Each structure stands twice: as structure tokens, then as C-alpha cells.
Amino acid sequence: MIQPVIEVSDLTFDYPGFRALDRVSLSIAPGSVTALVGPNGAGKTTLLRCIAALDSPLSGTVRVMGLDVFEHPREVHQLMGYLSDNFGLYSELTVAQGLEYAARSQGLPTASVAQAVQHTAKRMGLSDKLGNLASALSRGQRQRLAIGQAIIHEPKVLLLDEPASGLDPEARSALAHVFKALQAQGMSLLVSSHILAELDEYSTHMLALNQGRVLEHRALAGSGAASGVGAVERVLRLEFVHGAEAIAPWLQTQAHVQLQRAEGRVIDITFSGDRTDQAALVAACVTAGHALVSMASVTENLQQSYLKSLAAERATAPATRMQA
Amino acid sequence: MNPEFRRQLWLQFSTTRLIVLPMLLAASFIAVYVNVSSAPAAPLAATAMLLFAVLVLGMGTIAAGASVMDEIADRTWDQQRMSAMQPWAMTWGKLAGASAYGWYGGALCLLVALPSVWVAEPLAVVLRWALLGCLAGVFLQALLIAINLQLLKTSSRVSRRSGMWALLLILLWGGGLVMESLRRVNHIGWWNQAFEKLDFALASLALFAVCALVAAWRSMSEVLAVRKLPWGWPALALVATVYISGFGWTQRLPVLGAVGLSVCAVLTYFALLTEPQQRPLWQRLVNAALGMQWRTVLLQLPRWPTTLVLAIPFAVMTAMALNPNTAVPWTLSNAVLLQPIAFALLLGRDCALALFFAFSPQTRRPVMAFAVLMLVLYAILPWLMRALGGPVLAGLALPLLGNSALSVVVAAGHLGLALWLLRWRWLATAPRTAEA
């Protein structure tokens, strides 16, 4: 069994007169990008700060790579990067000095600091800014420097609280590429954001919080987590040359297929087979003489999923709030 | 090299700053030298020591304090807290790094001051004065870091100057006492031993500097979430008690007890009012205690209960050691000596009342509410009662004023009432689940 990078168990956190987190339990898989979503006051920032050992909870445990964060905060910090939503930079230091300080304070050996600074600057697109003061950087560059400082020690886990807030579309897109690259290198990311369309681009999982409780935590359909590994259920959209209604009954008899919707020339199915099974389905369509134009995974829209979860939760549990 | 020390050096030193300071100092010394017709050594030494004080005790201390508060202003505190640096490395990195420029100037001043003083004084005395100045610098800088870290625990929105004001108050009060006691004598009597004034000042300052360094390190540990067992605060109380009691008069044991009780009271009130005391913190402690996680309880325990508990043996010691035939006139300061048990009980009552306000979600300024209540309990109410019914009623309001045995009973009643109020508040503010 793969060990989760983050394990949260029965985490409860109170502010005076207000319960911010209520018995939250979850585990984050290695190599995943988890979108942490929820309305204002849902407990997103508090959860991130507890995982980062910046705030102490009322009860519960948080383990990162098997280490209890409240018992060994400094050791955990070597495995973790964290970018606060309200981050600051040492404005009187240059980009190179800021990165060097971050590297050294995270315990990197002296011999590897210079290389880490160069590598991180390149990764963040700041190689030509190394001599500039942090105060002279643009908003997007400051954001990238802050993320660079958080990842310079190659953490296993990266926590980001509203990383794209205040950025223009171009800078957001660049940031999405950075996150994808970090995930590709095996880093696990937990990203809190209000801009769900932006999270759609790179998230593999959704963790929805509401009123301090976990509303939903699952792999997103169409994400690498949902379609890339083994026989994970996912939604496929098949487009045919002719009317889909006639093909639907035949399709329903095929292995791993559950019909969802047939409309015009398009059929949506839930498919529970692996990639070989999917190839076999394509071959079966062709052999049966059904003129298949395309078959594609339907990527789940994070915003719709989140709103659906929220609406369902509000309908079923209107008053599950802890009151002081 | 310590990363924090290196960062502070980056901030403190530039080529310009490195050159400008020696030039300014040289200009000052030359100005003194050319303006004195004969025997320039003494005015040069005085000027150098004054500039040393400005640079090390003034500039260096402000810079050391700012090394903590600037992290809040620049919103970089989370980055520091997320680093892998241990508390002691962070403490000395800030202390030595932030004040390095002041020390650089101070060292240049000493280069002028020491030879100038040496003209008139033996080398040993000169070196001791230099060491005194350096220890004073370390003491003030470490103390301001400790004060600022303590303020940060209460609120992240404290003003950068709050710590400076607190330090100035401590210096004015403590410095005045020390100067007054040193001014009149050549030798200091301490625990029946006579010490030369300068030697005693040196040893005292070294002790204070060590205490300030430990305080800064312990406070840094707390804000970096590296919990330690709570020995620091009671240890400080014991050190202060032993130090102050050394100046005491003939009845050693009651003096030791009364001083210990007073020191514990001061430290308890200080910690009580400068540490966060919200209900969730105490709920966490109660949860740990109910789960028999005693080490967790000790690691998360606020400072004030340690000195409150330590106050009890001191109170008992005072009560048992004071000769009943000793004629001690009643004054407010002697109340600790005359009514130690009642005093300790009232200390416990005040702690319960402070928590009573701190646990209320509606009280916006619990410290202020507590201060007002203390004014009522210790001044207004006894005064009113005395006017209405004489000393007996006044003794009910403030048991320190009354007869010995009865005072203890009344003080215990006060404590019981305060604990009942606290229990009521605790239950009233317990989070409730309203499941649909």
C-alpha cells in the first residue's frame, strides 16, 4: 500500500467562539495535486496552517511522510514548502540572496546551495533577475520568487494558499505550468484557491471543505489520478457519424460500460475498464460497424462538481454547525 | 554560517556603511582632540564610551528588537517559522546579526576608549569596564528580543515600539534601583559576603545577560512551535529570588520566602497578562489531561501556572519562618510578609478571574477588564467598605488588611468564588454540536 504524504486524523481547531475545523480526516496521495476548495470561512487556510505546524489544533493529529508535525515541526519543514496567502519577501535582499537564505534556512548543505539557487531561478523563470532586489519585481515575479523560496529544498509536499490571487491571466497560466512541472517531478501539491477554473488545469483531486468539515475528497474524473492508473471509473464521450440512440442499446451490452446519456450523435458512458479495455471497446465499435468518430475522456469541471457538492450538502445538512 | 546571521549581515553591512561609520567616528574623535588644549585622554575616553553606548546599547538594541518585529511588518514571519532552523540558531542569528553594525562601531569606540582610560586606570579595571559595557549590550539586546517575542505571542499586530517602551520602563525602574544601591557604597554585601562594587556589577550583569539569552531562546522556541518542558519560568523565579534575597536583612528564611512569593507573584501576573489565554488553548490542555498525556500537558502549559504553584511553598515558608513576636508594621509592601498564605490565595483568585475574562467571547479587551476589576478589588472596594463598616468589612473585601487566621479563610472564600465563576464560564462557552 502506498503511504500517503499527508495524513490528517480527527483534526479539530477552535478559534474563540468558533470551530474552524471539525474532526477533519483525510489523506493526500503522493504525486497528486489536490484542489482545496470551499467558501470563505470553510477552514481552508486553517487546515493548511495546521498541516504546516503553524497553528496548533484543539485535537487530532497531522502526519507528513509519517512524521507528526506537532512533535517534529522543524523536521517536517524540511519535507514541506508552504506559501501563505499573505506572504512577504525580504525586499532589501536580491532574488539570489532571498533564494540562498531560503536554501540555507531549510538545511541544504553549503555545497549544494549555489546549484539550488540557479536551478530554482531557472525553474521559476527568474534567472535574469537574480541580481534584482525583491522590491523591484513585478507581482507575478514576486509570486514566483516566493514559490521558489518554498520549493528550493525540493520538498515532498507543497502547500499553497491562494497562490494565483492578484495575478494577471498570463502569470496565472505560467504558474499552472510550474505546478504541473512540480507534480511531474513527484511533488504532492495541496492548493487552496477561489479561482476554480485555474485549479481545473492541473488538479488531480478535489478536497471540498464547508463549515470546517470535509464535504468531498476524491479523484477528479479525467485527471491523471482517475484515468491513468488501472481500472478507475471515468466518463467517456463517444461521437458517432449516425444517430446515437440506435447504438446505445448495443453499447450498454459491452463490458465495463454504463450508459449515462445518449443525445444526437453523442453518447456519454461511465467506463470502469483500464486502457486495454478501452482499446478493445474502440475495436468492438469498428467491428460492429458503428461509425465511431472519436472517444475522449470527459474532464470534470471542478466548479460544477464543487457547486453540486455544496448544494447537496446544504440540502441534506442545513444545521450541522458547531456553535459556541 | 548561521543563515539568519548571514542574512542580517547582508542587511546591515554595505561597502558604504562600512566606510562611513569609521569616518564619522574618526571625525568625532579628532574634533574632541583638537578642542582640548591639554590632557585629551579623559575627554576622548568619555566621548568614546558615550558613542559606544549610543551604538551598542542604543542602535544595536533597537536593531535586535527590529529583527523580530520587522518579520511581522514585512509578512515574512511565516517563512521563518517554516524554516528548519532550530530556536537557538534563530535566536543568536538575530541577536548577533542585527546588532553587528552597532558592535562594529562599538569596537572602534573601544579601540579609542581603552588606551585613553588606561592612562589613568590600571589595565584590569579598564578591561572590566569594557566587559561591563559589552555585557550590558548583550543583556539589553537579548531582553528586547525576548520582550518582542512575548508581545508577538499575544498579538501579531503589536506596534514595533511596544517592546522598546517596555524595555525603557524596566530599565528606568531596575536601573534606578541598582544605581541608587551602588552609589552610596564601595562594597556590596550579598549573602554575608562583601564584594567590590565593580566586580559585583560585572557578575550581576553577566547573570542578567544569561537570563535574557535564555528568555529569548525559550520565547523563540515557543513562537517556532518547538515546545519545551516548562522549567524556564520557575527557574527564572528561583534565580531572581536567590539574587534579591542576598541583599536581605537578618531573618533570612522569612525574607527568602517573602521575596520568592513576591517574585512569583510578579512573574505570574506578567505571564498571565502577556500570554494568550483563550479557551481553545485551555481546552487543548484539558483534553490532554483527560487523556492522561501528562507530557503534552507540560509541553503546552502556559508559563503562569508554574510560578503560581511555586508561590505556594514560598508562602508556607514565610508563614512558618516568621517569628510571631517580630514587630513588623503593616504596610502594603509588608503584607506579603505578614499574610503570605492569604496573599498566595488571592494570587490564585486573580488568575481565575483573568481566565474568566479571557474565556468570554464577548470581552474584547480581557486584560483591560481584569485591570479594572483589580482596581476595584484592591482599592475602591476596601476603601468603600472601610468607610461603611470599618476595618472588619474592609478585611472582608481585601483579606490582606485583616486578622491573620480569618484573612486566610476570607481569601480562600474569594478563591472559591472565583473558581466557581471560572467553572461557570467554562461550561457556558463550551462548543456545542447542533446536529440537524
Nine cell digits for residue B201: 556589577
Tell me, yes or no, whether B311 and B374 share the same domain.
yes
Which residue(s) pair with A133 in the sheet? A94
| Interface contact flag, B84 A56, Cβ < 8 Å | no
Q: Residue B98: its chain A contacts at CB < 8 A?
A: none
Tell me, yes or no, whether B336 and B205 share the same domain.
no
Question: Closest by alpha carbon to B255, among B312, B325, B318, B313?
Answer: B318
Q: Does a structural domain hold residue B240?
A: no
Tell me, yes or no, whether B192 and B287 share the same domain.
no
End-to-end alpha carbon distance in chain A: 41
- Domain-ending residue, one of B199, B226, B253: B226
Question: Closest by alpha carbon to A272, among A203, A226, A225, A205?
Answer: A226
Name the residue facing B7 among A14, A58, A101 (closest C-beta). A101
Q: Residue B67: its chain A contacts at CB < 8 A?
A: none
pLDDT tens, position by position, A70-84: 888 888 888 899 998
Q: Which H or E element spans position B73?
A: helix B61-73
Mean pLDDT of chain A: 83
Instruction: Count Cβ atoms below 10 Å from residue B426 Cβ, excluding itself.
Output: 16
Question: Closest by alpha carbon to B71, among B132, B4, B125?
Answer: B4
Name residue, grid cell 517575542. Answer: B149
pLDDT tens, position by position, A181-200: 888 888 899 999 877 777 77
Write the CA distances from A1 to A29, A99, A115, A225, integer angstroms: 11, 36, 35, 16
B43 sits in the region (left: phi over 0; alpha: psi -120 to 50; else beta) called alpha
- Domain-ending residue, one of B226, B257, B290: B226
Q: Does a structural domain hold residue B404?
A: yes
Name residue, grid cell 517554516. Answer: B82
Q: Residue A322: its chain B contacts at CB < 8 A?
A: 431-434
Tell me, yes or no, whether B7 and B145 share the same domain.
yes
Question: Closest by alpha carbon to B13, among B141, B77, B75, B99?
Answer: B99
End-to-end alpha carbon distance in chain B: 59
Q: Is A81 helix (H, G, I), strand (E, B) or coil?
A: strand
d(CA A104, CA A108) in angstroms, rounded, equals 5
Question: Closest by alpha carbon to B167, among B151, B180, B182, B154?
Answer: B151
- Who contacts B75 (Cβ-Cβ below 8 Å, separation ≥6)? A84, A86, A87, A88
Q: Does a structural domain hold residue B434?
A: no
d(CA B63, CA A8) in angstroms, rounded, equals 40
Name the residue facing B78 among A73, A84, A91 (closest C-beta). A84
Nine cell digits for residue A96: 539570489
Q: Provide the 8-state DSSP code for A149.
A: H
In contact, B306 and B347? CB cutoff 8 Å: no
Q: In whole angstroms, what separates CA B420 from the centre of its chain?
A: 31
Q: Residue B97: its chain A contacts at CB < 8 A?
A: none
Q: Does a structural domain hold residue B23?
A: yes
Q: Does a structural domain hold residue B248?
A: no
Q: Does a structural domain hold residue B408?
A: yes
pLDDT in tens, chain A (324 residues): 568 899 999 999 988 777 889 899 999 988 888 989 888 888 899 999 999 988 888 888 899 998 998 888 888 888 899 998 888 888 889 999 999 999 999 889 989 999 999 999 988 888 888 999 988 888 888 888 998 999 898 898 999 998 887 777 777 887 888 888 888 888 899 999 877 777 777 788 888 888 888 888 887 765 555 444 445 567 788 888 877 788 888 888 888 888 878 888 888 888 878 788 888 888 888 888 888 888 887 766 677 777 777 777 777 765 444 443
Buried b (16+ CB within 10 A) or exposed e, B115-148: ebbeeeeeeeebebbbebbbbbbbbbbbbbbbbb
What does the H/E/C string look like for A24-51? EEEEECCCCEEEEECCCCCCHHHHHHHH
Tell me, yes or no, whether B200 and B286 share the same domain.
no
In contact, A192 and A36? CB cutoff 8 Å: yes
Write the CA distances from A137 to A90, A95, A126, A170, A174, integer angstroms: 12, 9, 10, 16, 16
Please give the model's pTM, rounded to 2 decimal places: 0.81
| Interface contact flag, A105 B3, Cβ < 8 Å | yes
| Interface contact flag, B279 A14, Cβ < 8 Å | yes
Query: In total, how many domains does chain B have?
Result: 2
Domains by residue range for chain A, with CATH: 6-224+303-316 (3.40.50.300), 231-297 (3.30.70.1150)
Tell me, yes or no, whether B205 and B313 share the same domain.
no
Tell me, yes or no, whether B206 and B352 share the same domain.
no
| Interface contact flag, B431 A322, Cβ < 8 Å | yes
d(CA B178, CA A42) in angstroms, rounded, equals 55
In contact, B59 and B97? CB cutoff 8 Å: no
Nine cell digits for residue B387: 468607610
Tell me, yes or no, whether B64 and B213 share the same domain.
yes
Tell me, yes or no, whether B34 and B155 share the same domain.
yes
Q: Residue A319: its chain B contacts at CB < 8 A?
A: 434-436
d(CA B344, CA B350) in angstroms, rounded, equals 10
Phi, psi of A62 (to 5 degrees): -130, 125
Range of the domain at B211: 1-76+87-226
Write the CA distances from B243 to B168, B191, B230, B239, B260, integer angstroms: 22, 9, 21, 6, 10
d(CA A318, CA A42) in angstroms, rounded, equals 15
In contact, A267 and A261? CB cutoff 8 Å: yes
Residue of chain B with shortest Cα separation from A97 = B7
pLDDT in tens, chain B (436 residues): 899 999 999 988 888 999 999 999 999 988 888 888 777 778 888 888 899 999 998 899 989 988 888 888 788 888 888 888 889 999 999 999 999 999 999 999 999 888 887 777 788 888 888 898 899 999 999 999 998 888 887 765 555 566 667 777 777 777 766 666 666 677 888 888 888 888 888 998 999 999 999 999 999 998 888 888 899 999 999 999 999 888 876 667 778 888 999 999 999 998 898 888 888 889 889 988 988 889 889 988 999 999 999 999 999 988 888 766 666 666 666 677 778 899 999 999 999 999 999 988 777 788 889 999 999 998 898 889 888 877 778 888 888 876 667 888 999 999 999 999 999 999 888 765 434 3
A78 to chain B, any CB pair closer than 8 A? The answer is yes
Q: Does a structural domain hold residue B401?
A: yes
In chain B, how many H helices and how many E strands? 21, 3
| Interface contact flag, B224 A82, Cβ < 8 Å | no
d(CA B402, CA B394) in angstroms, rounded, equals 8
Question: Closest by alpha carbon to B109, among B53, B57, B63, B61?
Answer: B53
